[in-house]
Amino acid sequence: MGKTDINSMLPRPYRLQQSYQETIDTWTLELEPVDGTDGLSFAPGQFNMVYGLGVGEVPISISGDPLKPEKLVHTIRAVGAVTRALCNLKKSDELTIRGPYGTHWPVEDTVGHDIVIVTGGVGLPPLRPAIYHLLSNREKYGRIVLLYGARTPQDMLYTVELSHWRGRFDLDVETTVDTAKPDWHGNVGVVTTLIPGAPFDAHRAKAFICGPEIMTRFTVQELQKRGVSVENIFVSLERNMKCGVGLCGHCQLGSFFVCKEGPVFRYDQVRPFLMKREI
Ligand SMILES: Cc1cc2nc3c(=O)[nH]c(=O)nc-3n(C[C@H](O)[C@H](O)[C@H](O)COP(=O)(O)OP(=O)(O)OC[C@H]3O[C@@H](n4cnc5c(N)ncnc54)[C@H](O)[C@@H]3O)c2cc1C
Ligand code: FES
């Protein structure tokens, strides 16, 4: 499913063109290859191993448009040493990239279906390339529904793009926050509360989910209550990674290596292993 060739094993130098602060702890980086070569072709849902020079290397999903490979985009939440260093990069600073790695959202196999995307927090960046793909091929799909939850209104990513998407007649977007001040006029509650009222036909729907595992579990339950069968639900998972290419075993989940056989899985394949501590 995923595309990993020998060239993707070699770290390539990239330069920061621009960065945007999305929230208090999350930045979107736009990167260009230092050697002026072609951009990085990728499939929606794949990730790169991103190396902050002298600090360390971490797996980060590609969050840009697959039709614009010349602009490599990563959205990164600063949670530790490496991600903080990456978020602190300034224009023209360099870093290296290996990838793209892993499996992708099944955007080809789901042609003709309704697509329901459920995501929370920094789960939206790994899904954004899939949204771009669906919108670029809009006529091939049934209804497309995006349900997005954040902790607070200030934690929402891509707010300008979300309001643009909300204005489209061919995409249903609902957002919610866990908590908000009284001046918030949107939904309050966890993202799963949006599922019962969402406009899709459960019997022809395919669902793509990315977020914390607890959110994934409850989302699957709600989708099943609506009648979506478990074989039609796909999830993207995170595990600690080192090599990113199926060699070191750091990302093992049951019989799977998440870096190679994931990060996107059909839910029923990985259900027995979720909500367990990592080895
Ligand atoms: C396939 C894949 C795609 C990813 N895509 C993105 C992305 O698009 N944007 C993004 O911001 N992050 C993404 N991550 C998570 C990112 O890799 C981690 O946040 C990063 O490795 C943390 O490294 P650090 O050195 O900054 O922090 P560390 O010092 O390693 O960790 C700091 C804190 O974050 C926690 N943490 C570390 N890794 C994870 C993780 N994978 N999930 C949850 N908590 C973690 C640690 O337990 C610790 O509490 C992805 C992870 C995977 C496996
Ligand atoms: S990170 Fe090494 S096997 Fe997956």
Please name which ligand lies nearest the alpha carbon of 59. Answer: 1
CA distance 85 to 97: 15
CA distance 142 to 200: 9
Ligand 2 in reach of 81 Cβ (< 6 A): no
Ligand 2 in reach of 33 Cβ (< 6 A): no
Peptide bond into 263 cis (omega under 30): yes
What burial letters (b/e) apply to 197-220, b meaning 16+ CB within 10 Å? ebebebeebbbbbbbeeebbbbbb
Nearest-CA residue for ligand 1 atom 17 is: 59
Which residue in 35, 52, 31 sits closest to 96, CA to CA? 52
Maximal C-alpha separation, the chain: 54
Per-residue pLDDT band for 100 (boundaries 50, 70, 90) equals very high
Ligand 2 in reach of 246 Cβ (< 6 A): yes
Backbone angles phi, psi at 87, to 5 degrees: -70, -20
Amino acid, single-letter form, for residue 179: T
Please name which ligand lies nearest the alpha carbon of 57. Answer: 1
**If you measure from the C-alpha of residue 155 to the centroid of ligand 1, how many angstroms do you get, rounded to a whole number?**
17
Q: Dump pLDDT digits (tens) for 26-49.
A: 999 999 999 887 889 999 999 999
Q: What is the mean pLDDT of residues 54-75?
A: 96
Nearest atom in ligand 1 to 263's CA: 1
pLDDT greater than 90 at residue 259:
yes
pTM above 0.85?
yes
CA distance 172 to 216: 20
Per-residue pLDDT band for 279 (boundaries 50, 70, 90) equals very low
Tokens (6 digits) for 199:
């406009």
CA distance 122 to 172: 20
Backbone angles phi, psi at 162, to 5 degrees: -60, -40
Partners of 21 in the beta sheet? 27
Cβ-based neighbours of 84, under 8 Å, separated by 6 or more: 78
Q: What is the mean pLDDT of residues 174-185?
A: 93
Tokens (6 digits) for 254:
């049951």
**If you measure from the C-alpha of residue 192 to the centroid of ligand 1, how many angstroms do you get, rounded to a whole number?**
23
What burial letters (b/e) apply to 69-108, b meaning 16+ CB within 10 Å? eeebbbbbbbeeebbebbbebeeebebbbbbbbbbbbbbe
Could you tell which of 259, 261, 278, 279 is best to mutate to test the pocket of ligand 2, judged by most ligand atoms within 8 Å of the CB? 259
